[in-house]
C-alpha cells in the first residue's frame, strides 16, 4: 500500500509506483500507459476533489493481484461522490467545460472500474 499526502507534489510518486508494476509484471507499453494515466487521474481526483487538497488527509493506493489481472484501488478521506452525476465530457454541451475528463479516461483505459464507499474508493482492473 502507498499512502500519499493530499498535495500536488504527491502525484510524482504515482509514476514511480507504476514503473515498479511495469518491471514486476512485465507490462507492455499500452498497459503501462493505461495504468499510468488512469492511476494519475484517480489520485489527482482524490487529492483535489476528495480531500480538497488538505495535506492532513491521505490518499491510499492498494494493489490486488488475481491470476490474469491487477486491481488497483485509490481511496480518499473525503465525502465521496456519485460517478453517475459526472458530466460526459464528449457531449457537445460539455466539450468546453471542466470536469468529467478524468473519470471518462479511467473508464475507457481500465478493463473494469467500480466505485465503493460512496465514491471515496475507485477500483480499476487491468488485464495482464
pLDDT digits (tens, 9 = 90+) for 78-108: 999 888 887 776 677 766 666 667 888 999 9
Helix (H) or strand (E) holding 51: none
- Candidates 111, 35, 100, 24; CA nearest to 74 is 35
* Cα–Cα dist 42/35, whole Å: 10
We report the CATH number of the domain holding residue 87 as 3.30.565.10
pLDDT at 66: 84
- Candidates 20, 28, 16; CA nearest to 128 is 28
pLDDT at 89: 63
For residue 16, the enclosing domain spans: 2-127
pLDDT at 99: 67
pLDDT at 86: 75
Say which residue the cell 488475481 belongs to.
66
Count of structural domains within the chain? 1
Over 90: is that where the pLDDT of 67 sits?
Answer: no
* Cα–Cα dist 57/55, whole Å: 5
pLDDT in tens, 17-53: 999 999 999 999 999 999 999 999 999 999 999 999 9
* Cα–Cα dist 97/92, whole Å: 10
Amino acid at each position: 500500500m502507498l499512502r500519499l499526502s493530499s498535495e500536488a507534489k504527491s502525484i510524482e510518486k504515482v509514476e514511480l509506483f507504476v514503473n515498479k508494476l511495469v518491471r514486476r509484471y512485465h507490462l507492455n507499453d499500452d498497459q503501462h500507459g493505461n495504468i499510468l494515466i488512469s492511476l494519475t487521474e484517480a489520485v489527482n481526483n482524490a487529492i483535489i476533489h476528495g480531500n480538497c487538497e488538505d495535506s492532513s488527509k491521505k490518499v491510499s493506493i492498494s494493489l490486488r493481484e488475481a491470476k490474469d489481472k491487477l486491481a488497483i484501488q485509490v481511496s480518499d478521506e473525503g465525502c465521496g461522490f456519485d460517478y453517475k452525476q459526472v458530466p460526459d465530457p464528449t457531449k457537445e454541451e460539455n466539450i468546453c467545460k471542466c470536469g468529467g475528463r478524468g473519470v471518462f479516461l479511467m473508464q475507457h483505459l481500465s478493463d473494469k472500474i467500480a466505485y465503493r464507499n460512496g465514491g471515496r474508493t475507485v477500483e480499476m482492473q487491468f488485464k495482464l
